[in-house]
Chain A
Amino acid sequence: MPDNGRKPETVALTIDGREVVVPKGTSLLQAAAGAGIEVPHYCYHPGLSAPAQCRVCLVEVEGAPKLQPSCVTVAQDGQVVRTDSDEALEMRKGVFEFYLVNHPLDCPICDMSGECKLQDYVFAEGREHGRAHEPKRVFGRDDFGGDVLYYGDRCVMCTRCVRFMEEVAGDPRLTVVERGSRAVIDTFFDQGLEGASFAGNVVDICPVGALVSKEFLHKARAWDLDHTPSVCAGCSQGCNVELHTRDNLVQRLKPRENQEVNGHWMCDYGRESYEWINRPGRLESPQAGRGSRRKPTDWRDVLGRLHARLQELRGAEVIVIGSPLWPNEGLAALDALAQAAGQVSRRVFRSPRAQDEDPLPGFPLLIRRRDLAPNVDGAGLLGFDRDGSDVGEGGLDGVAAHDGILLVLGDELRDQSEEFGASAALFVYLGTHDSPAAANADFVLPVTNFAEQEGTFVNAQGRVQRFQQALRPPGTARPAWLVLGALAAALAGNGPPPSRADGAFAALVAAHPAFAGLDYDVLGVAGAPLADAGAATAAAAGQRAP
């Protein structure tokens, strides 16, 4: 490097014989991770401070008198680091042996088994057999309240949970009580974690099975779960998550890192609101006919008849009721069909709103938003107006007397009577579940929920976020964009409808300038902001104003 008097912005070093170039200030642990070398670590977590107290990340640095904790040792130019030298391995082996002195090794009944860092590290680097003969001390378990259960015997005292509550949640409720082998994590006596709305994250960051989720307790083994990149549907923040599924059911949500949206975290409300995805009693096949004349049929038949009926009614007044639980593609196709069918007089959605927001102090980008649906902003951009109350009911003025076309997607109309849509010339109900208020529907079409398809949401920051398909749809349920896109294309006579989610997204981008310039592939799993995210969210906010 030429010596021009300025400090280099990067440093070059050797880790395990590999040349690594990292930005100045990078820790050895991060530098090694970048080169694909995982150095064990407990107390270090990328979202927290690094106290260097667990000592499992010791590595050999040439010229240093003793092993260095790689989590806090800053990479230097020309440094030669060995993470796997005999001395480092021997030392770490000893450290792990100490960790096991009092560890219960109850892996068979431990929820963390299979994704536990003590298991992994000891398997990779530890001793084959323990040498401790003394009985282990026993603490049992402690219910911290909220969703969190603490197994003191399994704790490795990394204090990640303590630091999360203090540094990120801004609510220092956890602490280390006592010391040495008697040390446990606890709150102030029986205060607990009740009411701490981000406390569920301590379960994620606990490297072992000491903090576990009560809700998930003994529900599934880690190795039986499939992980699908997705987006939390709890509110319009749209935290990036993984859906963990087994037996075609969502078993739990885990946050997925996205520094633009949620960091490493998510809120407890979102984490716990997934049961609706698994709700049984699904519509499995298309049905046609009002009330007692209703008959199950198949897609070919139902689409043919629906198309014919739309042709007959061409030019009629159309009222569209959408739902911000549905992705952009479905809502855009709903809008496209309505436009092709007639004169759209109203496009509305109803959705619950919380009383207030709930920000995460240590990661200010993450706010549990008031809108308790993932795509309120997308719906706004696609021309849908909010209707009804803050519990997502009421509104829909004039729908009762409407005698044109009524299209409903995703709104289960729980607050509406069996008379709903009685006077409509054509009432099409697309949903996941049948509803008493759908009795007058001429066509009931089973569609997939967001977890059963891929697609995009727009979050409150004006960020378009893509999620993947995690579940198999029930019966012959299809994504709304596929059904509606086919009808709209047939009606408008403008070429073949999209047959894949990327095509549906492209069609939406072409039809809605707010999405201009976005590419489905480029969105990846991290999403991308709308070209004019600020203006877009402002516009959406304007539309949302009561």
Chain B
Amino acid sequence: MSEAPFRNPGWAGNTGEFDLAEAEVRGDSYVGERPLDGGHPGASPSLPYMLVKKDPSAPLFEGPYQERLDKILDRYPTSRAALLPVLNMAQELRGHVSPGTMDEVASLLDLGRAYVRGVATFYTMYNKRPVGRFLVQVCTNISCNLCGADEVLAAFLDHTGTELGETSADGNFTVVEAECLAACGFPTCVQINSRYFEDVGADDVTAIIERLKAETGDARL
């Protein structure tokens, strides 16, 4: 690699001529609630921010979120480039990216709102409609499928009493299929909100739901 200074240091690796510490780029104070399991130390670098209580009508980008937004915008040469992280943050706050949210983000970043819709719909990780408190994504791609993903998926649907892609009546669960979650060594992999559950079999599903119940202290689950 040449010695040319990095024009855009990003927040991973070489911070180049800007000489910014990661915390300066990301923000050093967590915002919102800690993840349910307290966050695995090994996973924390990939989880830059904590999860907030999702409120579909939460104001976008106020207080500490405004600060985060400014940092995100500083990081990119154009506002278009900042669209993904900004949508991410909007979803973190509101739980999903509604047409109204897309519109707000578009005017905030001065982009066409149709374009924002195009980007938001391209990525499956943006929820385009409200999801339950727990978004259960069961990998049904090759490795997991060979190791019983279909049964795991059926078990989740069974236990939560919902249809694929729908949200359970109590608002707690949305169960969807996911394409490869990049944990092929530990099939079946299930991602619940931002946490991975690996080596899941159909008969582990009850235990997982019990665990969520215990962690949240919510007997209604």
Contact = CB atoms under 8 A, between A and B. Distances in A.
Contact of A174 (B99, B114, B121, B122): B114
Contacts of A173: 112, 114
A176 interface: yes
A177 B112 contact: no
A127 B113 CA distance: 40
B215 to A, nearest CB: 34
Interface string B12-31: 00000000000000000000
Contacts of B75: none
Given A166-B112, A172-B112, A173-B112, A188 B122 contact: no
- Choose among A166, A172, A187, A188 the residue with the greatest number of B CB atoms under 10 Å from its CB: A188
B115 interface: yes
B177 interface: no
Where chain B touches its partner, the secondary structure class is helix
A176 to B, nearest CB: 5
B99 A175 contact: no
Interface in A168-182: 172-179
Interface in B98-136: 99, 102-103, 112-115, 117-118, 121-122
Interface in A139-188: 166, 172-179, 186-188
Contacts of B99: 188-189
Nearest to A174: B114
A188 B120 CA distance: 12
B219 to A, nearest CB: 39
Contact of B114 (A178, A179, A191): A191
- Choose among B99, B113, B114, B117 the residue with the greatest number of A CB atoms under 10 Å from its CB: B114
Interface of B: 99, 102-103, 112-115, 117-118, 121-122
Contacts, number: 35
B121 A188 contact: no
Contacts of B114: 172-175, 186-188, 191
Contacts of A175: 112, 114-115, 117-118
Contacts of A179: 121-122
Nearest to A182: B121
Contacts of A166: 112
A166 B121 CA distance: 19
A189 B122 contact: no
A526 to B, nearest CB: 35
A178 B119 CA distance: 8
Contacts of B115: 172, 175
A188 B103 CA distance: 9
28 contacts: A172-B112, A172-B114, A172-B115, A173-B114, A174-B114, A175-B112, A175-B114, A175-B115, A175-B117, A175-B118, A176-B118, A176-B122, A177-B117, A177-B118, A178-B121, A179-B121, A179-B122, A186-B114, A186-B117, A187-B114, A188-B102, A188-B112, A188-B113, A188-B117, A189-B99, A189-B117, A191-B113, A191-B114
